[in-house]
Structure 1
C-alpha cells in the first residue's frame, strides 16, 4: 500500500495558502484561539457627524496599561488584544472636549461596541460618563455565558471546582450521572473531565482552553479536562455554546475558556480555608436501612492567591496555591463466603425460597446414551478438606470473613464501614505579565497539580480489595507564553506557545503474590506482575487487584494571530500547529482473572437450576469457568506511543455594516493527520484476498455446509510492513469549515441574531486510539475436555502444558489472529463534523435584566459505527429462530472441528465447534469488525432561554431553561442491517432549568434595614450575603435489554411509580391482573425489531439545591474577613439508583434498589480573607 507523503504536501499547502491570504490582507498573517477582548466603535459629534482622527485610548484601571487607536475617515476605531478586566475609554481631538467613559468591563473573547459622542470645546475640558448596560454591547452572534471571579468564588460551588459551573449554562449538561458514592464527587480537579455535553455534543468533544491555549490537562486532546485551576486565580469563566467564530474548532458543541487573573498595581490576595466533617453530613438511605452509622468524613480545602506589581506599570505577578485532602466514607454491605462455606460446609446455604442448595461432585459426572447427565452430591453437602484446591485455600486466607448475619441466602453479610476513599492533591499556578512598552506585552503562566486517589471498588479491605484506583496518581503541568505586539495603529500580532502534560499511573499498593508461595502455573509469577489473580464468583463480591497501567499525554501548541482594522472590518487570519501525543501502557492480567459460576457443582452439567450449584463451591474445588462473571483468562497488555499532528488555518472578518448591523464571516481549515504509532505497533487494514499461511488439506469438508473449505484467505495488515502505509486510514484533506453570523440591533433594547457554522470533531477525542492485534494477547481458559461436565483444568494448573499465547507483534503477518476475532479501521474513514445553527433575540428589560431566547440546532454527521463483515448468512440465521419455524439449537449444535489442534490457545482449537462458526464466510476467524464506518449521526434541537439579572441593589441572578430533543443513530439494530436506527439519545433530558443568585442582604448602615445603626450592632448585622444554585431537570432514558420487545407505546404508571415498579414492567410470566402485559422477549437467535429507549422510561431525577450564607467583616484597611456556611443538597434529596435490570426474563425487571446515587446533604464551613 502506498505511503502518504503528508509533511511535504502539508508544508506546501499551508505556505501557499498563508502567502495568498497575506497578499490580500496586507500585513495580516496567522491566528488562533483568542481569549483577549476587542473594542470597536464610531466617534461622532453631538449631531451624529463623523469625527476622523480622534485618539481613542483604552486604559486598564487595575494596571494603568494603555492601548491607543485612531478613528479613521469613517470615524471607526478599534482597540484590539485587551486582557479581560476593568477599563476606562478616553477619546481626544483638538477642538473637542475629552470624552471619558469609565466602568467598562471587558469579558473573555469579546468584541464590544462603544459609542463615543464628543462635544465641541477645549481639549482640557472633560466629559465623563459611566458605561450603561446597553451602551457596551457585543458584536458577535453567539450564545455564551460569562461568570466573573465574584460568581466563581462565591456561588456554593462544591469543592470549588470551577468546571462544575458548566451545569449552569443553557444547553449544557453533565453526562456523568452519579455525583455520589461511586467515586465522582465533582470536587477534585480531575473530576468528570470530558463528561459534559454542550448543545448535543458528543461527550469529550468540546474545546477547553486556558487563556486561549489548549491546556486543561488532557494532553492527548481528549476534549475535556483533568485539571481545574484554583478558583481565586480565575478572572473569568466563559462558555460559548453556539460559537461560529472561525478561530474555534475541534468541537461538536461548545468552547470553554478560562481567563486567569493578572497582577495589578496594587497588592491583592486572598486566603481561604474550607472544612467538612461527619457532624455536618446527613446519612445515605442505604446506610440507614442497614443500620450503618455515618462516620469518617474528613475534608479540608485550603487556597491562597496573591498578585501585585514587581515594577509598577511594567511588571506584574500572580501566584496561587490549593491544597486539598478528603476522606469520603463509602459504607456498604457486600457478600463474602460464610464461615461454614469457608470450611466447605454448604448445609446452611439456601436460595431465596428457603430451599437448600446442594453441591455436587463434578468428577462423578455420567451421561447416558440419550445425553442425560447426572452427578453425585457431596455427602452432607460438605466438600472434604482433601478436595479443597491448594491455590483456593491460600487465596481464601486473604479473603475477609463475614461480619454480619446477612439474609437467608447469605448475601449482604459483610458490613464495610467506613470504607474510606482517600483523595488529595496539591496545585500551584503562577503568572507574570511584562509590559515592555505601549506596543509590546508578554505574559507567561505555568501550573502544576499532583493528585492521588485510593478507593476500593468492591468495598473490601486489602489485600482482597479490588480497585483500579488504589492508588491512581494524576499529575498535570501546563506552561503558556503569550506575546502581543502592536505593529501599527491598525495591526496587532499575537503569538502563543503552550505545553500541556498529564501523567496518570494506576498502581497497586497491596497483594504481593510472592507472600503466598502458590503452586500456580503462570510464567509471570513473582516477576513483572507480583499481584494476586482476580477472582470473580457469581453471587459474591469480586476480589483482588490486578495489573498495572499508565497513560502519559502531552499537547504541544504554537499559534499566532494577526488582526487588522480596515474601515468597518476587523480582519483576523490565523495558523496553528498542535501535536497531541498519547503514551499508554496496560500490563494486563498476567496472573490471570478467574470466574466461577457454579456450573461444576450443580446437579446437571448442561443446565442450571435454583437448588443446586454454588460459585464459591466451584472456587474451593478449584474449577474455574470460561463463562464466569468475567470469564477466565490470562492477558498480556500492549503499549503504544500515539501521535496526532494538527494543522490549522483560518480567516475571520467581523464587519460592522452599520451602527446597528454586524456580519461575521469566517473560514477555517483543519488537517488532522491520521494517527501514527512511534514504532509502527498498529494494524492498518484487512486483506480479504491473500492466502493465509494456514491451509487445511485439500478437499477438507466443512461439516456445516457439506462443501470443501478451499483456500483460506485473509488477515490483518501492519504498519510499515511490505510497503503498507503507517496509518490505519487515509488522510482527510477536505475539512473546510464555513462560518457566518449576523446581528441586528432592532431597537435600543432588542437585538436579533442568527448564525451557522461547521466544525470537525477532534480526531484524537472522537476517534482516537490504535488497533494492536498481535501486540497484546489474551489466552482464554479452556474448560471443555473430552468428558462432558468433567473439569479439564484446575485453578492450580489452569493451562496444562503452559499453552499461553504470546504477543508476536507483526511477525506472523496474516496469521496473527487466526482462530480469533479481529478489528480494523475503515480505510476510507472521514472525520465526523457538526453543523450548528442558531436564531434568537436578546431583550434588555427594565431592572437591568437581559433575556436571551434562541432556537438552536446541531447535527453531527459521519459518526463511526462498527460493522461485522464475517456474519453467517442471514438465511442460516433464520434456521435458528423458532418464530420462523427454525430450531433454536441449530446454530449452537457442536460439529466436528476441521481446525482442531491447529489453533493452540484459542477457542477454535477444540475437537468440536458450534455450527455458527463454520457458517461464517471465513471460518478461520471469529468476528471481523470493521470500525469507523461513517454512517452514524446525532441531532439536537432546542429552545433555550436565559434570564440574567445584573448586579443592582445587591442582587445578581441568572435563570436558564432548555427544552430540547436529542436523537442519535449510532448503532445497528441487527448486525445484518445496512443502516443505523434512530433512537433517543442516552443523554436526552427534555427539560432543564438552572437558577443561581447572589444577594447582599439589605442590613446595616446605608442599607434598607438598620441604616442608622453603628458600632457593634452595625458590625453584627451588615455584610451578610445569601447565594443559591438550583437545578431542575428531566431524567435520562433507561436503555432496555436487547431481548426486550415492547407491546405498547407508553410505560409510565404516573403516581403509582414506586421502587418496586418504576414503570409498567408486566411480562408474560408476571402479567397484570387481567392477564395482559407490556413486554415480551425475543427468542433465541431472533432479530430485534424495536428501539432501546423510550421517552417515559427514565432515570430518577428531582430538583437539587445548594445554598450558602456569608458574613463579610472589614478588619482594617481593605482587608475583609468572610465567614462561609454552605450546604450542598440542602433538602437532602435522594436520587435512587435506577441502574436496574431491563431484561424481562429477570425477576427484578423494572425494580429499583433502595440505594442513593447522589451525595446526601453535606455542610461546609469556611473562612476567607481578602486584601
Structure 2
C-alpha cells in the first residue's frame, strides 16, 4: 500500500549516506527485473559523535486552493508534521560503532473531488438537459428533454446518490463537489552496529522498522460516510561480513530478512472478510449474502473514487470499489555472496544470490460485491442493466463468498561474473554474464486449479500443494550477457565514447500470478447478461447458475519476459566545470505481459476490416470469456538524451537534460507491476485478440519530450563569499549562508485510449476496451487549439462503427495535457560553533501555482444510438497539487 501518498520525496533519505541510480546497461551483478536499480547505503557510526535533528511543517494556510475546488467550499484543513533525529558514534574507538535514526510523519488533510450525479428531476423520470449549444447551465435554465417511468426496484439504489451541488449538464446529470478527509501517521527507525573484528574482517548489522496507518473518509453511495483503514509496516534485518583475503581480493557475505505486514479494511469490515451492513445500508442491496454491492456503472454519472483512489471515468459505487479487504503478510529470506578481485588490468566481480519468498495473502482481485453495468441513464431508470458480474465461491458450506486466502511459496537464484578489463590505457571493456532462474510458485494449502485446455475443457483440475502453478520457459536458458566499452580517443582525455548492450529478464514474480485466483471451486467470476434486478437480490448457489464464468488465468507455460537494451554515449568536458553528453538509448521488450481473451468469437474480413459475424460462437461454450494474463506483447523504445552538467564553481552547479523519445507496444509493457492493473487499464488490455497488429500504438508510458533542470546556487554574500567576506556580528548571520535550489520539469503528456460504452464489435470480455471509428478525414488526436478543462478534445472526430466491426481508432492516440513543475527552495546555514550548523529551509512545490491537469474523460459514446457521454473530453482533476509551501529546521552536529 502507498499509505501516505507522499510526493515530497523519500522522507527517509536522511538515514542514507549514499544513493546510486543505475538506469540502463548496468553490469551482471544486477538482475531479476528489467527496470532501473536504486542502491542505498545507510550511514554508520565513526570515531566522532555526530548526528542531526530536524522538523518540517506545513498547513493549509500556506497552500493554494485546488483548481477544481468549488469556491463555496473552504480549503481542506491540513496539518503535516515531519520530524526525526539521527545519532552515531563509537562504542570502542576504531572497533565498534553505532548509528541510530528515527523519523516520523503525521498528516491530516483532504482531497477535493468534482464529479456528476443525477439531477432531482431525472430521479423522477424527467431527464434534464441544457438549451441547444450549451454544455452547462443553471437549474433554472435546464429543460426536460425526455420523460420515462422509473422502475421501483431502482429507487433504493438511486436514493443513495447525493444531490448535485453545481451546474446542470446534458443527459440528466449535474456537478457534485466534495472534500473527503484522510489522516496518516508513519514511524520509521534504524539501528545499525559496525564491528571491526580484525584487520581483515568487519561485520555490520542493521535493523529497520517502518510502521504506518491511514484512515480515509469514503463518500461512496451509503447513507452516511464510512471509513477505510490501512495499517502496514516493514521489518528489515541485515547482517553482512566482509573478509579481505589480500589487497586484491575481498569477499562480502550478506544475509537479509524482510517482512511486510499490510492490512486494508473498512468500517463495515469485521474479522478480515466479514461484511455486516454499512451504517444505514439497506441489506436488500446485497447481491451476495453478506457482501454489499461493490460497483455499479452508469454512463454520465461519475462518483467513483471518492477517498483514497483518484476518480475514474464514470461509474458509481456502493462499498469500496476496489479490491478489498486485503491482507499481505510476506517474508523474504535473502542470501548473497560477492567477491571483488582487482588484479592487473582486470576488475572482476563475481557472486551469487538466493531468495526465498513466503507470501500469505487475502487478496480479492475483483471488486467485492461485483458490478452492475447499465448502457445509459435511460436504461438505469427503467431497470434494464447490460450485465452484472460477481465473484462467488462454493467451498464453504452456506457461503457464497469466494475463497481468496492463499499461501504462496517461490524461490529465486542467480550467479554472475563481471569483468571490467582495461584493454588499453584509453579503452576499458566491460564483459558480464548472469544466470538466473525462478521456480514456479506453489500454494501451501493446495488451493489452486487450472484449466488444461482453454478451448475445450469445462472443469478445472485441482492442484496439490506440491504442484507447480505453471511451467516457465526461458529462451536463453537463464543466461543474460552484458557487454560494453568506454573509449577515450583524444590525447587530452576529455572526450569519452561509451556503448553497451545487455539482456535483462523480467522474472514472473508475485505481481503477475498472485491475482490468478478465480478458478472453481474456490472462486468463479460470473457475468449475467440482462439480469432481472429485484430486491432482495441474492445470487443462488453458484453451482446452479446457468451463466458461464469469466476466469482470470495464466497460461500453463509462461515464457520469461525480457528486454534487449543498448546505448551509445558521447561525452565531452569543456573547461574545468562543464560536461556535455549526447546519448542514444534503445530498448526492445519481448514476451511482455498483457491481458486478452483467447475465447473471443472468430472474426472474418469484411470490407477489408475485422468483423464478428452475428452467428459466431465462442470456441469454448463453457465460458463467456477469459481474462488471460499472458506474455504476448512486445515493445520498442528509442530515445535521444542531451545532458549539460556544471560542477560547482563560484557557488553554482546545475544539471540539465532533455529527452526526445518514442515508446511503442501492442498492449503490454516492460516492468508492469500488477496483472489486475493491466486488466483495469484499457491501455494494457487487448481489444482484438485475433489481430494483435491492430493493437500496435503508443505505449501508455510514452513521453515524447522531457526536460529536467536541477540547480543549486550559493548566494555570494557573507563569510567566505564574494561580498561581505569579512562581515561579523549580525550582518554575518543575516547575509551569510543563503542558497537557492530548484528542480524544474517540463514534459509532454501521456497518451490515453478513446473508448465508448456500447459494444459494437461483439467483444464480450469485461476487460475489452471498445473503441469507435475515426470520422473520414478526422484527427485521431483532436486536442482543441484553445482547450479548457471543460472540453479538452473534439469528440466529433469519432463515429460509431456498424455493429460487428471493430473500431479503427488506434490505441492511445490522444495525448493528455503535459506537465510543468517548478520546485524551489531557499536554505540558510548558520554556523553555531565548530562542527555545529543550524539549517533553515523554505520549500515551494509548484512555485508558480501552475495547474497540471489530469486525464480527460475518454468515453465518447454512452449508448448504441451514438449519443455523446456528457462528460466526454472533460477534465475534473489535476495530476499534481497546486502550490504547496513547507518550512524546515535542521540541526547538524
Is the shorter-chain TM-score for this pair beyond 0.5, marking a shared fold? yes
Does structure 1 residue 1109 correspond to structure 2 residue 826? yes
1:794 aligned residue: 534
Q: Please give the alpha-carbon distance, in whole angstroms, between the structure 2 residues aligned to 1:327 and 1:481.
A: 37
Per-residue Cα deviation, 1:757-783 (whole angstroms, up to 9, x for no partner): 111112216743363301543575868
Does structure 1 residue 300 correspond to structure 2 residue 81? yes
Q: Of the candidates 242, 256, 261, which is equivalent to residue 38 of structure 2?
A: 256
User: Which stretch of the first structure deviates more once superposed, 266-275 or 446-455?
Assistant: 446-455
Q: Of the candidates 1125, 1128, 1131, which is equivalent to residue 848 of structure 2?
A: 1131
Q: 1:595 to 1:446 in 2, by over 3 A?
A: same
Q: Of the candidates 832, 857, 861, which is equivalent to residue 1140 of structure 1?
A: 857
1:762 aligned residue: 507
Q: 1:1040 to 1:509 in 2, by over 3 A?
A: same
Deviation at 1:323, TM superposition (A): 0.8
Deviation at 1:980, TM superposition (A): 6.7
1:744 aligned residue: 487
Q: Of the candidates 5, 16, 34, which is equivalent to residue 234 of structure 1?
A: 16
| Structure number, greater radius of gyration | 1
Q: 1:1117 to 1:871 in 2, by over 3 A?
A: closer
CA-based RMSD: 3.8
Q: Please give the alpha-carbon distance, in whole angstroms, between the structure 2 residues aligned to 1:1045 and 1:466.
A: 42
Moved >6 Å (runs of 4+): 336-341, 521-524, 588-591, 630-634, 883-886
1:1006 aligned residue: 720
Q: Of the candidates 507, 531, 539, which is equivalent to residue 265 of structure 2?
A: 507
**Is the 2:447–2:522 Cα contact (8 Å) retained in structure 1?**
no
Q: Of the candidates 310, 314, 319, which is equivalent to residue 545 of structure 1?
A: 319
**Is the 1:359–1:614 Cα contact (8 Å) retained in structure 2?**
no
Secondary structure class of the residue paired with 1:851:
strand
Q: Please give the alpha-carbon distance, in whole angstroms, between the structure 2 residues aligned to 1:1099 and 1:672.
A: 39
Q: Of the candidates 418, 425, 428, which is equivalent to residue 189 of structure 2?
A: 428
Secondary structure class of the residue paired with 1:821:
coil
* Structure 2: unaligned runs, 5 residues or longer: 132-142, 270-275, 304-315, 393-399, 668-684, 756-769
**Is the 2:403–2:523 Cα contact (8 Å) retained in structure 1?**
yes
Deviation at 1:281, TM superposition (A): 0.6
Q: Of the candidates 402, 407, 421, which is equivalent to residue 636 of structure 1?
A: 402
Q: Of the candidates 442, 461, 473, which is equivalent to residue 717 of structure 1?
A: 461
Secondary structure class of the residue paired with 1:636:
coil
Q: Please give the alpha-carbon distance, in whole angstroms, between the structure 2 residues aligned to 1:996 and 1:1165.
A: 20
Q: Please give the alpha-carbon distance, in whole angstroms, between the structure 1 residues aligned to 2:600 and 2:288.
A: 37
Deviation at 1:347, TM superposition (A): 7.6
Q: Please give the alpha-carbon distance, in whole angstroms, between the structure 2 residues aligned to 1:560 and 1:498.
A: 12
Deviation at 1:929, TM superposition (A): 5.8
- The equivalences for 1:19-418 within 5 A come to 184-187=5-8, 230-287=12-69, 289-334=70-115, 346=124, 350-352=128-130, 354-355=143-144, 358-360=147-149, 392=156, 402=163, 404=165, 407=168, 411=173, 415-417=177-179
Deviation at 1:517, TM superposition (A): 9.6
Per-residue Cα deviation, 1:134-175 (whole angstroms, up to 9, x for no partner): xxxxxxxxxxxxxxxxxxxxxxxxxxxxxxxxxxxxxxxxxx
Q: Of the candidates 990, 1001, 1017, which is equivalent to residue 704 of structure 2?
A: 990
Per-residue Cα deviation, 1:471-524 (whole angstroms, up to 9, x for no partner): 112211111111100122322111011111222211112475287696649798
**Is the 1:453–1:473 Cα contact (8 Å) retained in structure 2?**
yes
2:654 aligned residue: 957
2:411 aligned residue: 645
- The equivalences for 1:1013-1032 within 5 A come to 1013-1032=727-746
Secondary structure class of the residue paired with 2:452:
strand
Q: Please give the alpha-carbon distance, in whole angstroms, between the structure 2 residues aligned to 1:1089 and 1:793.
A: 35
Q: 1:186 to 1:247 in 2, by over 3 A?
A: same
Q: 1:229 to 1:731 in 2, by over 3 A?
A: farther
TM-score (norm 1): 0.63
User: Which stretch of the first structure deviates more once superposed, 276-285 or 1032-1041?
Assistant: 1032-1041
Q: Please give the alpha-carbon distance, in whole angstroms, between the structure 1 residues aligned to 2:347 and 2:454.
A: 55
Q: Of the candidates 441, 448, 454, which is equivalent to residue 215 of structure 2?
A: 454
Does structure 1 residue 1045 correspond to structure 2 residue 776? no
Q: Please give the alpha-carbon distance, in whole angstroms, between the structure 1 residues aligned to 2:434 and 2:583.
A: 25
> Number of residue pairs matched?
809
1:856 aligned residue: 585
Q: Of the candidates 435, 455, 465, which is equivalent to residue 669 of structure 1?
A: 435
**Is the 2:154–2:380 Cα contact (8 Å) retained in structure 1?**
no
Q: Please give the alpha-carbon distance, in whole angstroms, between the structure 1 residues aligned to 2:280 and 2:357.
A: 43
Deviation at 1:185, TM superposition (A): 4.5
Q: Please give the alpha-carbon distance, in whole angstroms, between the structure 2 residues aligned to 1:852 and 1:1006.
A: 33
2:248 aligned residue: 490
Q: Please give the alpha-carbon distance, in whole angstroms, between the structure 1 residues aligned to 2:258 and 2:610.
A: 61
**Is the 2:295–2:367 Cα contact (8 Å) retained in structure 1?**
no
Deviation at 1:655, TM superposition (A): 1.5
1:474 aligned residue: 232
1:1062 aligned residue: 792
Q: Please give the alpha-carbon distance, in whole angstroms, between the structure 1 residues aligned to 2:695 and 2:878.
A: 34
Q: Please give the alpha-carbon distance, in whole angstroms, between the structure 2 residues aligned to 1:286 and 1:731.
A: 50
Q: Please give the alpha-carbon distance, in whole angstroms, between the structure 2 residues aligned to 1:979 and 1:514.
A: 47
Q: Please give the alpha-carbon distance, in whole angstroms, between the structure 1 residues aligned to 2:117 and 2:549.
A: 35
Does structure 1 residue 1092 correspond to structure 2 residue 881? no
Secondary structure class of the residue paired with 2:590:
strand
Does structure 1 residue 1119 correspond to structure 2 residue 836? yes
1:872 aligned residue: 601
Q: 1:340 to 1:637 in 2, by over 3 A?
A: farther
Per-residue Cα deviation, 1:825-883 (whole angstroms, up to 9, x for no partner): 333422011111112122222142233322111111122345544343435x96xx9x9
Per-residue Cα deviation, 1:411-466 (whole angstroms, up to 9, x for no partner): 5576534x222122111112111111221111111211111222345478x76447
Q: Please give the alpha-carbon distance, in whole angstroms, between the structure 2 residues aligned to 1:405 and 1:573.
A: 65
Q: 1:1130 to 1:486 in 2, by over 3 A?
A: same
Per-residue Cα deviation, 1:661-713 (whole angstroms, up to 9, x for no partner): 21121111001122222223223452369xxxxxxxxxxxxxxxxxxxxxx85
**Is the 2:582–2:643 Cα contact (8 Å) retained in structure 1?**
yes
Deviation at 1:402, TM superposition (A): 4.2
TM-score (norm 2): 0.82
Per-residue Cα deviation, 1:43-99 (whole angstroms, up to 9, x for no partner): xxxxxxxxxxxxxxxxxxxxxxxxxxxxxxxxxxxxxxxxxxxxxxxxxxxxxxxxx
- The equivalences for 1:778-793 within 5 A come to 778=524, 792-793=532-533
* Structure 1: unaligned runs, 5 residues or longer: 1-175, 189-227, 363-382, 600-607, 690-711, 786-791, 808-815, 892-914, 1068-1077
Q: 1:1052 to 1:487 in 2, by over 3 A?
A: same
Higher strand share: 2
**Is the 1:416–1:459 Cα contact (8 Å) retained in structure 2?**
no
